[in-house]
Chains A and B, each alone.
Chain A
Amino acid sequence: MLAASAFFAGLVFGIGLIVSRMVSPAKVLGFLDLAGRWDPSLAFVMVGAIAIGVVAFGWARKRSVTLLGTPMLLPQAGAVDGRLVGGGALFGVGWGLAGFCPGPAVVALGAGQPKALVFVVAMLAGMLLFEFTERMRARAKAPLPIQTAATE
């Protein structure tokens, strides 16, 4: 049931990205190019999405279970830290370079755009790099360094 609802949410999300035309990097770059011929469309996408989102998350916040009766697992408020700001900056540079962010890239891949495939593979590699460095960090912090390291 949760898989079915997630599938339909993904499907609707993708259709929204197509209808809004944000699936095209050229459109996104038109928004990010303030000094050139500026296309404000992306701001309208945000306004439309947030208008619905405010109502939906306001409702979800008041509930401890979902409409399907499963636990509500929305994130808790956290502190602003260097990782958030640094990560956001790196993402913004990558976004500005090609005009792709994760959602539109996956949808463009589904549309058979070969350049989206290259972007998504590189993005997955970047995410794996993060997983790897996180694991190294956790290992460095571990109270007992792993004895089996000698056998590696």
Chain B
Amino acid sequence: MTIDWTSFTPWSALTGGVIIGIAAAMLALLNGRVAGISGIVGGLLRPSFPDFTWRVAFVAGLLVAPILYATVATLPPIIVESGYPVLVIAGLLVGVGTRYGAGCTSGHGVCGLSRFSLRSVVATVVFMIAGFATVYVVRHVIGT
């Protein structure tokens, strides 16, 4: 294993992580909800859901964040290497998978692990391994 020291940003990663933790704490302590993005977005697709308003408000906050951030600082580059067909396939898999698996990196990875939830530990291990394996195949098996 070779560590990419030029890309590694431990301090901004840790700071950003703490900010994400604060956001999850806000939603838990003020709204009594887990900050799982896939669950919050997925719930919007169920029109019968009673708590439509707070979900829309949370997603609006996510969408406004880069606009507000850009008024005080320069946004870090958002580099998307994938082409459109790969993005469509990836999006479909993430959509279906997060709903069946009842969570994503935020719901299981951040909130679930913080709650010591067994389901979230299992889900996080599974999606991490699947992610590692996929990148390995794409970059080192097909890519070479």
Contact = CB atoms under 8 A, between A and B. Distances in A.
Interface in B8-31: 8-10, 12-31
Given A66-B30, A122-B92, A20 B126 contact: no
Given A33-B139, A116-B78, A124-B41, A100 B94 contact: yes
Contacts of B129: 92
Given A74-B28, A106-B37, A124 B95 contact: yes
A147 interface: no
Contacts of A110: 62-67
A149 interface: no
A102 B45 contact: no
A44 to B, nearest CB: 4
A118 interface: yes
Contacts of A101: 37, 94, 104-106
Contacts of B80: 24-26, 98-100, 108, 113, 115-116
Contact of A36 (B56, B68, B139): B139
B35 A13 contact: yes
A12 B3 CA distance: 30
B49 to A, nearest CB: 11
A48 B20 contact: yes
A10 B3 contact: no
A86 to B, nearest CB: 6
Contacts of A53: 21, 24-25, 110-111, 113-115
Interface of B: 1-4, 7-10, 12-35, 37-38, 41-42, 45-46, 53-70, 75-82, 84, 86-102, 104-106, 108-111, 113-115, 117-119, 122-124, 126-136, 138-140
